[in-house]
């Protein structure tokens, strides 16, 4: 190996750092990843039968109001005009989400004005209005009122966490958006869309530089191959984006994560749901939502199979060591444990931890990219600049 920087993990954090290091410092970068592809959880692939772009690790939707991030990503891809909208099937009826005036009027079979709807939700918070919420259940009722909370969030959250919301901390949901107009856009960011020719093509362009080399299928902790932790730490600067507790061989204990299992269903029809995402908040449906990938890219209809479609149903559960970690559980015990690992990080020579796994945090894609750009500016460039 002849590299000035080693990046462990080919997700968006690692790819952004590698791109910046090669471009701004002229650094030779070696990227390694245990998976057989780049892109981390944002990786996508084409499904030959349907013509759908499958988001291999669940739906990834790009949105941001950060001008620097938007300018940066547009160097490598253009974006479609996709606007994310979510629907929810409750009691055999479909409602728009987030909760908005349309949802409220449909649910209550009414024609409330915005002012009337606001008064209704405040009234339905009942005795919980204006008091400190003791758990997620109470917080949800405070924010959207009891009927809407129980219809759309209580059992959905219970399935997502496999725990009664009354036993979950209120901090899990800082807010549930309620809009007292008919705006059903899911995100409120200035910019939104999907990469025109897919996520994988976007990320391949990020590292299309002769100074960047990628080696896939490599386990950083496998000492039988040369690109391993014992051989590299202290000898070359390292950007580590894997699980922080795994880096230290779980010496202080394991940080808890949620994972997602996917069940694929194929239909002999061109469009099954008529939308990309359908939530299932009722307790008698075991999965939380279903994703119909073709509907993320209506601009590709001519290239898609008009008679077949593919849907993935999502099931949430606790993650084990061999599972893909998606969402940090983030209890107070977990946060305390992470802080202990953070103290160990600071003692590692020439190793910078980043990404959601390396910092035990949940990030949207634009937040990962922003954190990588910031980390490069403040910590990585001074480390490698010649």
Residue 65 CA neighbour count, 13 Å, CB half: 4
Please tell me the distance from the alpha carbon of residue 309 to that of residue 152, in angstroms, as a whole number: 27
Please tell me the distance from the alpha carbon of residue 192 to that of residue 31, in angstroms, as a whole number: 29
Distance of CA 356 to CAs 19, 104, 181, 364, 380, Å? 19, 35, 34, 9, 18
Q: Which residues of 203-227 are buried (b: 16+ CB within 10 A; e: fewer)?
A: beebbeeebbbbeeebebeeeeeeb
Active site residues: 175, 179, 258, 289, 314, 362, 364
Judge contact between 97 and 186, C-beta under 8 A.
yes
What phi and psi, each to the nearest 5 degrees, are found at residue 296? -75, -20
């Amino acid at each position: 190996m002849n590299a000035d920087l080693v990046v462990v993990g080919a997700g968006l954090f690692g790819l952004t750092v590698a791109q910046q290091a090669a471009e701004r410092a002229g650094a030779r970068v070696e990227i390694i990843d245990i998976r057989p592809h780049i892109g981390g959880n944002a990786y996508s692939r084409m499904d030959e039968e349907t013509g759908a772009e499958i988001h291999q690790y669940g739906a990834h939707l790009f949105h941001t109001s950060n001008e620097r991030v938007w300018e940066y990503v547009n160097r490598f891809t253009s974006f479609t005009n996709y606007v994310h909208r979510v629907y929810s099937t409750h009691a055999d009826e479909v409602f728009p989400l987030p909760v908005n005036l349309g949802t409220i009027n449909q649910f209550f079979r009414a024609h409330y004005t915005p002012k009337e709807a606001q008064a209704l939700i405040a009234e339905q918070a009942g005795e919980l209005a204006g008091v400190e919420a003791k758990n997620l259940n109470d917080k949800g009722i405070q924010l959207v009122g009891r009927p809407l909370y129980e219809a759309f969030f209580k059992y959905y959250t219970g399935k997502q966490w496999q725990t009664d919301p009354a036993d979950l901390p209120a901090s899990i949901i800082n807010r549930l958006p309620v809009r007292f107009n008919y705006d059903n856009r899911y995100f409120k960011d200035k910019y939104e869309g999907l990469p025109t020719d897919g996520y994988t093509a976007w990320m391949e362009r990020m590292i299309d530089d002769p100074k960047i080399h990628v080696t896939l299928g490599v386990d950083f902790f496998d000492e039988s191959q040369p690109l391993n932790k014992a051989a590299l730490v202290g000898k070359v600067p390292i950007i580590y984006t894997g699980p922080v507790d795994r880096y230290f061989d779980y010496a202080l204990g394991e940080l808890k994560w949620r994972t997602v299992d996917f069940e694929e269903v194929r239909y002999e029809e061109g469009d099954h749901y008529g939308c990309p995402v359908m939530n299932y908040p009722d307790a008698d449906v075991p999965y939380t939502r279903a994703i119909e990938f073709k509907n993320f890219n209506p601009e590709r209809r001519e290239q898609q199979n008009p008679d077949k479609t593919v849907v993935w149903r999502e099931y949430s559960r606790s993650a084990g060591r061999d599972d893909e970690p998606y969402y940090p559980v983030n209890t107070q015990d977990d946060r305390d444990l992470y802080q202990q690992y953070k103290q160990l990080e600071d003692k590692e020579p020439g190793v910078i931890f980043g990404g959601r796994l390396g910092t035990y945090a949940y990030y949207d894609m634009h937040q990962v990219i922003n954190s990588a750009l910031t980390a490069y500016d403040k910590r990585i460039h001074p480390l490698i600049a010649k």
